[in-house]
């Protein structure tokens, strides 16, 4: 069974950037797509996009296009999410999740989730 372990909670000021990591174990990292999903207080889960851990291809939700960047380090089986120009509305728990199909595509179910990283944006 696989597992994702994410980096710890962050507190950032408006306008700053945050980088969250997601270390995978228990499966072959490069054969799957890692998606990022966030959960703001009182809001439903929101999909942000994905990175193909094999070739590094990325796809971003239009809502975050231009503000978010996904990268990965295959030597460390780790994916990263970088979100810039933070505002208070970005306060949320950010999750990495594996696309269950193994196919690089937006519309997938998510079978392995990280524990979540709380990002708080406050002045």
Write out the residues near other proteins by the rule CB under 8 A.
44-47, 61-62, 95, 97, 100, 105-111, 113-116
Distance (Å) of CA 84 to CA 14, 25, 31: 9, 27, 28
Q: How far apart are CA 8 and CA 47, in angstroms?
A: 20
Q: How far is the CB of 100 from other proteins (least distance, A)?
A: 7
Q: How far is the CB of 64 from other proteins (least distance, A)?
A: 10
Q: Pick the closer one to other proteins by CB: 10 or 46.
A: 46
Q: Pick the closer one to other proteins by CB: 65 or 74.
A: 65
Q: How far is the CB of 52 from other proteins (least distance, A)?
A: 15
Q: How far is the CB of 95 from other proteins (least distance, A)?
A: 6
Q: Pick the closer one to other proteins by CB: 25 or 115.
A: 115
DSSP letters spanning 23-80: EEESS-GGGSEEEEEEE-TTS--EEEEEEETTT--EEE-TTTTTTEEEEEETTTTEEE
């Amino acid at each position: 069974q696989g597992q994702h372990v994410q980096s710890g909670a962050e507190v950032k000021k408006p306008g700053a950037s945050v980088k969250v990591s997601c270390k995978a174990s228990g499966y072959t990292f490069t054969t799957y797509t890692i998606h990022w999903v966030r959960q703001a207080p009182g809001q439903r889960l929101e999909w942000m996009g994905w990175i193909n851990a094999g070739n590094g291809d990325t796809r971003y939700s239009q809502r975050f296009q231009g503000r978010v960047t996904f990268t990965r380090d295959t030597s460390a089986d780790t994916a990263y999410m970088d979100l810039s120009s933070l505002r208070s509305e970005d306060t949320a728990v950010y999750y990495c999740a594996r696309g269950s199909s193994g196919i690089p595509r937006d519309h997938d179910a998510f079978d392995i989730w990280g524990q979540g990283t709380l990002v708080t944006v406050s002045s």
